Chains A and B, each alone.
Chain A
Amino acid sequence: MELKEVIKARTLEEVLDVLDEKGEKAKVIAGGTDLVIQLREGKVNPEVLVDISDVAELCFIKETGDFIEIGAATRFVNIKESPVIGKPFKGLQEAAGHVGSPQIRNLGTVGGNICNASPAADTVPALLALDAVAVIKSKQGTREMPLEDIYIDRGKVKLEPQEILYAVKFLKPQPGQGLGFVKLGLRKALAISTISLAVFVERGENEVIKNIRIGSGALSRFPVREREVEDFVKGKKMDNTVIEEAAEVFGQVLEKRLATRPPVEKDFKPYAIKGVFKEALNKAWQRTK
């Protein structure tokens, strides 16, 4: 397919109309930080490109009822600097701050991070740990699904050709909750994540870990929740023994999952995850106070 038409959309209605009419022939572009490279390599060949980066209705971070909602075309820099997200969930802002470089954070969007479905997407583990919900729109209406369920495989999400990811939303922080994020990469800027991990915890009475959700990046074919580790930790009293034991469990889970991967992954990641997990959990716990 040859790129025949490019559209700079200014309203959501315009975007939905184009998608409705062109279907699979059309592709949405926002920050372009992944897509422009894919277009040039011929990995994606749309006939029509619709730019949503200046659709104001898709660029927002706001409180709606019990939720914090982030528009799909919101830049990483805006998440990093947003006063709305709140200190306990600073881990999400740290995740956004770890993406690429200043240039990439000025362009790249949270919706692109999700829909591009890279295993190493930095903000997705944090959103998974926050149990975020994806809000999807088309001309026919709006539907919602857990963000976790949006992935089919590496590079593939459950969006129909007529649909667009409109926003992600998650419950506002409550007292006793915290989110920690840790990224392991080869260097500070512009390094693809080797491991990224976000841990959400809720502190109960007597230092009990009432709830925990763990979102991981670069440990699977797409970002996932780490339920085996969550189940091991949930309901236990927070102390060094639990942290050490949970880290061991996480290591074993990865040994199994990555057994057929190249040595750099199967040997390194199950070992490295222990330190990453402890750091992320401790960060999250400190933020519950």
Chain B
Amino acid sequence: MKKISLTVNGKLYQVEVEEDMRLLDLLRDKLGFTGVKEGCSEGECGACSVIMDGKLVTSCLIMAFQAEGKEIITIEGLQKEDGTLHPIQQAFLEEGAVQCGFCTPAMVLAAKALLDKNPHPTDEEIKEGISGNLCRCTGYAKIVSSVKKAAEYLNKGGK
């Protein structure tokens, strides 16, 4: 076991991790952030994506001990304390970009990572931004339009 500290959604955690534990396992099983989904476990589907030090990463490809000192954002960190949804989540709901929902937490985070860096993305840039996240339900069209809508909300100062 190894003791590490990391910040998840603004809160500092000090935890013991097994040597062979992945960040995905740490977030889900030890810390209870079950919005982080395990899909393919090979970095192909993107369902386990989180934002680490501002960058979108697949938590199934990171060993837990590597996350020492990192700042991580999961879907649980997006809505406000009073339960108000993040503008990206709101846009996903309004546009009907959610069907089975399994890809959604990571898809929303992919949108956040993109919009944090590029507040006015083109359709092509949105597609590139979510290219590491598979969705088998929506056909992506409504996801792309939600990201555009979310960009508008965010640029207006948040809905």
Contact = CB atoms under 8 A, between A and B. Distances in A.
B123 interface: no
Interface stretch (A83-91, A98-106, A171-179, A254-262): A98-106
Interface size, B (range): 20 to 34
B54 to A, nearest CB: 9
B28 interface: no
Nearest to B20: A3
A51 B63 contact: yes
A29 interface: yes
User: A37, A100, A103: which has the most chain B beta carbons within 10 Å?
Assistant: A103
A66 interface: no
A190 B57 CA distance: 14
A37 B43 contact: yes
Interface in A187-202: 188-190
Interface string A153-179: 000000000000000000000000000
Contacts of A33: 43, 58, 61
Contacts of A29: 63, 66
B91 to A, nearest CB: 20
Interface residues of A, number: 28
Interface string A95-129: 00000111110110000000000000000000000
Contacts of B42: 37
Contacts of B58: 33, 103-104, 107
26 contacts: A8-B65, A8-B66, A8-B68, A29-B66, A32-B61, A33-B61, A40-B41, A51-B65, A54-B69, A77-B55, A101-B46, A101-B131, A102-B128, A103-B46, A103-B49, A103-B58, A103-B61, A103-B132, A104-B43, A104-B61, A106-B55, A106-B57, A188-B131, A189-B131, A190-B44, A190-B132
Interface of B: 2, 4, 19-20, 22, 41-44, 46, 49, 55-58, 60-63, 65-66, 68-69, 110, 113, 128-129, 131-133
Interface of A: 3-6, 8, 29, 31-33, 36-37, 39-40, 49, 51, 53-54, 77, 100-104, 106-107, 188-190
Which 7 A-B pairs rank lowest in CB-CB distance, beginning with the nearest?
Answer: A101-B132, A189-B131, A106-B55, A6-B65, A103-B132, A103-B58, A3-B19
